[in-house]
Amino acid sequence: MNTKKLAIFGKLTTRRIRLMITDLVHQLRDGEIQLVAASLSFSTLLSVVPFLSVILATFKFLGGDDILYSRVENLLLLYFKEAAGAQFTQIIKTAIRNIHAGGLGFVGAAFLVITSFRLMHDMEFGIHRVWNQKNTRPLIKRFFIYFFLVIVLPVFLAIYVGFTTLVRMEFGKQYLPGTATGVSTLVLVLYLVYKYVPDLKVKAKSAFLSALLAAAGLWVVQSTFTWVTVKFFRISNIYGSFAAMPIFLIWVLTVWYVILGGVAICASTQRRQLLENEENTGIL
């Protein structure tokens, strides 16, 4: 009897997994993830320096001292350095500091803010496109959300830098390993994105599962690109700097593929769960 129940359970589980994979494939296809990822990659390339400049300038405006500012800047540029090498990261850092030291005036500052808001708008639009869901939030509400994020992100970065500094201490190493801290923070950020960015009610279970899978995918991507970058620049001293840009472009595109893949997983699992609930209700 137990063997028969196990066989039935195995068949149901296999069927459910097959349906979830089918739903995910349809979600990726209908959401046009290739076009959305390419569009977001292009927006990122245009907006990365203005966005980082606005975040760091806001941090400075809120009272961040020079030591903490340097640590926040290094944290923001760390992943770029791992993906594209130190020389390309130095170019971005120099561009940011030139912007801060250049005295852009009102028009220049407004351009930076608008470009940064545009990146957040494109991300929001891309997530709704993968969901196949229309964004019904009023424009003024979106503006205040973007403005709130620009204020909150520097505060969050300062808290995170302070927390990671604690982790590096002996007490932190004993109870809070550095890798676990970084992965947990990444899962939390992705969970908040998957849960609250879509203009609909997203179940916590679907958002958390998607955040876990996407965080694992991003960790694999970052580890792979770090290894490729180190090996490539070690082998090729002549073409290493020249190849930094295409490597960075591929990295940005891959990262967006993983993040949007998490959105598709969240949407497909939630819709599958709703369909199963409707079927169970119909049977009852």
Report which of residues 235 and 42 the model is more confident about: 42
> CA-CA distance, 214 to 200, in Å (whole number)?
20
Sequence letter at residue 144: F
**Mean pLDDT, to the nearest integer, of 248-267?**
89
The pTM of this model reads: 0.81
pLDDT of residue 172: 47
Q: What is the DSSP letter of 243?
A: T
Q: Is residue 15 domain-resident?
A: no
Among residues 243, 219, 215, 216, the alpha carbon closest in space to that of 229 is found at 243
Q: Is residue 81 domain-resident?
A: yes
Quick check: 176 pLDDT over 50? no
pLDDT of residue 77: 75
Q: Is residue 153 domain-resident?
A: yes
| Number of domains into which the chain is organized | 1
pLDDT of residue 258: 92
Full domain range(s) for residue 50: 22-279
Quick check: 284 pLDDT over 50? no
pLDDT in tens, 80-122: 776 766 777 777 777 777 766 555 666 777 777 888 888 888 9
pLDDT of residue 93: 78
Q: Evaluate the CA torsion angle 253, 79, 51, 93 in order and state its sign.
A: negative
Q: Is residue 265 domain-resident?
A: yes
> CA-CA distance, 207 to 25, in Å (whole number)?
18
pLDDT in tens, 59-84: 777 666 666 667 777 777 777 776 76
Q: Is residue 3 domain-resident?
A: no
pLDDT band at 175 (very low <50, low <70, confident <90, very high): very low
pLDDT band at 135 (very low <50, low <70, confident <90, very high): confident
Q: Is residue 183 domain-resident?
A: yes
Q: Is residue 148 domain-resident?
A: yes
Q: Is residue 93 domain-resident?
A: yes
Least confident span in 27-31, 64-68, 116-120, 167-171: 167-171
